[in-house]
Amino acid sequence: MIRLVVGLGNPGKEYERTRHNAGFWLVERFASANGVILRKDPKFQALVGRHGPAFLLLPQSFMNGSGRAVQMLAGFFKVKPDEILVVHDELDFAPGVARVKQGGGIAGHNGLKDISQRLASHDYWRLRIGVGKPAPGMEGADYVLQKPSAEEKTAIDQAIDRALQVLPQMLSGDMQAAMNKLHTEEKKEPPKREAPVKEPEKKPEAPKSGGLLKSLFGKK
């Protein structure tokens, strides 16, 4: 069972639409859909809400200090690492992709790095929202602090939609069923409309000689 869902992002208006806040986007949408109010809790330095037995947490320190709020709330309520789900942006996946896994490498993600250090564990669950790779020559740290294009944002929102559909299963502890559904569900695209093919214009046929004679002299 998942008892703590953590959305990663940076606080502040200037960051709220950037790729690094994909974790915030998902948790905020889940809270809104379920009538959960996320309130600022100075004790945990985070926005905190409750959905059934699970806490929803948005750390309000910057990304590289995300683990502080996770450590404090998990310690206070005795939440184990394997009962925590961290939702975050993922450079290794294209926009439109969402994947779940437990543990594994952190691939330079500063939020995950801080959480792992403070929990002294990599055993928490991760819901990874693809945001795509930066262009050659651009640093990943700069890329995630930029806003996605309209097309990318649409794809990211679709991935979040699919993840939200299986989040209740994750909260109940049925992680395998959630993964099976999320990982095998194909992104459905509307069929492409083909341009109508114009038929070549038919040239009027020249009257046959017999027809011309009949029209001139009538039937014999």
The residues assigned a catalytic role are 20
Cα separation, 190 vs 158, whole angstroms: 14
The region that residue 182 occupies, defined by phi over 0 for left and psi between -120 and 50 for alpha, beta otherwise, is alpha
Q: Which of 131, 127, 121, 120 is nearest to 175 (CA)?
A: 127
Q: Which of 130, 131, 133, 104 is nearest to 182 (CA)?
A: 130
Q: Which of 123, 117, 59, 54 is nearest to 88 (CA)?
A: 59
